[in-house]
């Protein structure tokens, strides 16, 4: 029976497909990050309190913003270079050495910015030491070899290593974080365990894959930085548009209010990964269909789109009605403001699903400039509206600004496609 089934559906061949393996292991990495984030929230809130949890989350948002500078688009450009030179160990050695050197220099520069801002200009007053200790995450990002294993199509090891580092972080919270005074060690531990695991992976690359580490070629590093500028700004505007609200809110709210908002935001941002994973999942097949048969591509995209919209609407409704239970479960206490914020933000998943066909078409058509233009326009709108509405209406105003940003992003992408790629726009929407 199993043999006949395998003849009809070659399951072994499916799972030997390296592209599918890459996606599955990337999904494992993302899922483990989400799961550990959900598990750690109630532990942290009980150990350090809502106000310190808000400051830890705010510090993490600042670090992630700087990590975009540390990454500088290498997550998009470097895997392609690795894939091209898979069999050339000498070229891989120079590439690995230059990319890690560039990222380490960017991490050092970012850490210096934090120190200057903290001790030189007395910024980040409420969470200075938390942010300084969180700088360890910059060096964890700099040494992360995910892009290398992605290009080599050997994602199994790095995905296992990522899960292991997150489990160590979770164990560290349980063993060492017991009071608000210890909040500065939360993000530090995440970076410390991540850096340790990354160094083990680098040793594996050197010893088992026989990749050497050379002195950096500064001319090659400078050239790669110039080539990646567009990728960097695209990543930066995308992050600010999606996650910059918490940083803006910190200018108008106290630590406790910030903590209650960050709890609701974390729940919604976990849900918001859904449309991003959908785009990532359908992109390879969509690209192949478009090159072979455009009509099949549009049928496929429409079929996926309507199904995803339905699922997104159901999850959004479920989140709205179960908001009190979700907050109660995560915080082990009644936080009415967090419930209100979560209910306001619950439509975000559905609204972010609206843009799936536009983003997919831009990726399939290789419209990098258009993606960048849409990203910075969305970013400017988000910063202006979030600042104004948060000033007048606090957390509710920020929720409204974030929801409206998704609608504006959808309209911007539609207008750009209609203006510059009218044929493809009509083929899908008409």
Q: What is the mean pLDDT of residues 243-263?
A: 79
Q: Does the pLDDT at position 126 exceed 60?
A: yes
Q: What is the mean pLDDT of residues 367-388?
A: 87
Average predicted confidence (pLDDT) for the chain: 84
Q: What is the mean pLDDT of residues 252-266?
A: 80
C-alpha closest to that of 352 among 425, 428, 408? 408
Q: Sorting pLDDT into bands at 50, 70 and 90, what band is 9?
A: very low
Could you give the CA distance from residue 253 to residue 249 in angstroms, rounded to a whole number? 6
What does the CA dihedral 317, 320, 321, 324 come to, rounded to 10 degrees?
Answer: 160
Rg (CA), the chain: 22
Could you give the CA distance from residue 13 to residue 21 in angstroms, rounded to a whole number? 11
pTM listed for this prediction: 0.70
* Domain boundaries, given as residue ranges, for the chain: 18-227, 265-429
Could you give the CA distance from residue 185 to residue 197 in angstroms, rounded to a whole number? 18
Q: What is the pLDDT of residue 244?
A: 76
Return the HEC string of the chain.
CHHHHHHHCCHHHHHHCHHHHHHHHHHHHHHHHHHHHHHHHHHHHHHHHHHHHHHHHHHHHHHHHHHHHHHCCHHHHHHHHHHHCCCCHHHHHHHHHHHHHHHHHHHHHHHHHHHHHHHHCCCCHHHHHHHHHHCHHHHHHHHCCHHHHHHHCCHHHHHHHHHHHHHHHHHHHHHHCCCHHHCHHHHHHHHHHHHHHHHHHHHHHHHCCCCCCCCCCHHHHHHHHHHCHHHHHHHHHHHHHHHCHHHHHCCCCCHHHHHHHHHHHHHHHHHCHHHHHHHHHHHHHHHHHHHHCHHHHHHHHHHHHHHHHHHHHHHHHHHHHHHHHHHHHHHCCCCHHHHHHHHHHCCHHHHHHCCHHHHHHHHHCCCHHHHHHHHHHHHHHHHHHHHHHHHHHHHHHHHHHHHHHHHHHHHHHHHHHHHHCHHHHHHHHC
Could you give the CA distance from residue 408 to residue 383 in angstroms, rounded to a whole number? 13
C-alpha closest to that of 402 among 420, 424, 383, 421? 383
Q: Sorting pLDDT into bands at 50, 70 and 90, what band is 16?
A: low
Q: What is the mean pLDDT of residues 171-193?
A: 91
User: Per mean pLDDT, which of 65-69, 155-159, 343-347 is the most reliable?
Assistant: 343-347
Could you give the CA distance from residue 150 to residue 35 in angstroms, rounded to a whole number? 22
Q: What is the mean pLDDT of residues 34-59?
A: 82
Q: Does the pLDDT at position 2 exceed 50?
A: no
Q: What is the pLDDT of residue 140?
A: 94
Q: Does the pLDDT at position 194 exceed 50?
A: yes
C-alpha closest to that of 316 among 275, 262, 359? 275
Sign of CA dihedral 270, 60, 264, 170: positive
Helix axes 218-227, 74-84, angle to 10 degrees: 120
Could you give the CA distance from residue 53 to residue 37 in angstroms, rounded to a whole number? 12
Tokens representing 242 are 């999606």
Question: Between 200 and 42, whose confidence is greater?
Answer: 200
Q: What is the pLDDT of residue 73?
A: 78
Q: What is the pLDDT of residue 8?
A: 45
Judge whether 278 and 308 are in contact, CB under 8 Å: yes
Question: Using a CB cutoff of 8 Å and minimum separation of 24, what contacts does 357-361 make?
Answer: 357/301, 357/302, 357/305, 357/428, 358/410, 358/413, 358/414, 358/417, 359/279, 359/413, 360/279, 360/282, 360/283, 360/286, 360/301, 361/301, 361/417, 361/421, 361/424, 361/428
Q: Sorting pLDDT into bands at 50, 70 and 90, what band is 354?
A: very high
Could you give the CA distance from residue 289 to residue 416 in angstroms, rounded to a whole number? 23
């Amino acid at each position: 029976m199993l043999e006949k089934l395998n003849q009809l559906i070659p399951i072994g061949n499916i799972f030997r497909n390296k592209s599918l393996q890459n996606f599955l292991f990337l999904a494992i990495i993302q899922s483990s990050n989400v799961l550990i984030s959900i598990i750690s929230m109630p532990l942290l809130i009980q150990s350090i309190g809502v106000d310190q949890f808000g400051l830890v989350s705010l510090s993490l948002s600042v670090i992630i913003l700087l990590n975009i500078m540390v990454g500088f688009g290498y997550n998009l450009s470097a895997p392609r270079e690795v894939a091209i030179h898979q069999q050339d160990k000498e070229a891989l050695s120079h590439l690995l050495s230059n990319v890690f050197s560039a990222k380490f220099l960017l991490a050092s520069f970012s850490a210096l910015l934090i120190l200057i801002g903290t001790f030189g200009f007395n910024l980040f007053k409420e969470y200075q030491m938390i942010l300084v200790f969180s700088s360890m995450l910059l060096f964890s990002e700099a040494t992360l070899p995910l892009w290398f294993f992605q290009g080599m199509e050997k994602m199994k090891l790095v995905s296992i290593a990522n899960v292991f580092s997150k489990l160590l972080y979770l164990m560290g919270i349980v063993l060492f974080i017991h009071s608000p005074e210890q909040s500065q060690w939360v993000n530090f531990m995440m970076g410390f365990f991540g850096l340790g695991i990354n160094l083990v992976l680098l040793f594996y690359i050197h010893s088992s894959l026989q990749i050497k580490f050379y002195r950096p070629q500064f001319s090659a590093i400078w050239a790669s930085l110039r080539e990646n500028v567009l990728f960097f700004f695209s990543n930066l505007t995308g992050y600010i548009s999606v996650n910059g609200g918490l940083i803006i809110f910190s200018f108008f709210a106290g630590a406790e209010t910030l903590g209650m908002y960050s709890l609701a935001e974390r729940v919604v941002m976990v849900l918001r990964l859904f449309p991003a994973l959908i785009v990532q999942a359908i992109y390879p097949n969509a690209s192949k269909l478009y090159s072979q048969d455009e009509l099949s591509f549009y049928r496929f995209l429409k079929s996926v789109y309507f199904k995803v919209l339905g699922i997104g609407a159901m999850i959004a409704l479920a989140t709205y009605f179960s908001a009190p239970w979700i907050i109660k479960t995560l915080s082990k206490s009644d936080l009415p403001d967090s419930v209100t914020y979560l209910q306001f933000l619950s439509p975000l998943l559905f609204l972010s699903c609206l843009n799936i066909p536009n983003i997919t078409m831009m990726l399939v058509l290789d419209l990098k400039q258009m993606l960048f233009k849409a990203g910075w326009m969305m970013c400017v709108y988000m910063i202006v509206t979030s600042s104004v509405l948060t000033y007048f209406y606090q957390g509710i105003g920020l929720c409204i600004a974030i929801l409206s940003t998704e609608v504006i992003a959808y309209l911007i992408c539609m207008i750009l496609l209609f203006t510059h790629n009218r044929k493809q726009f009509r083929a899908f929407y008409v």
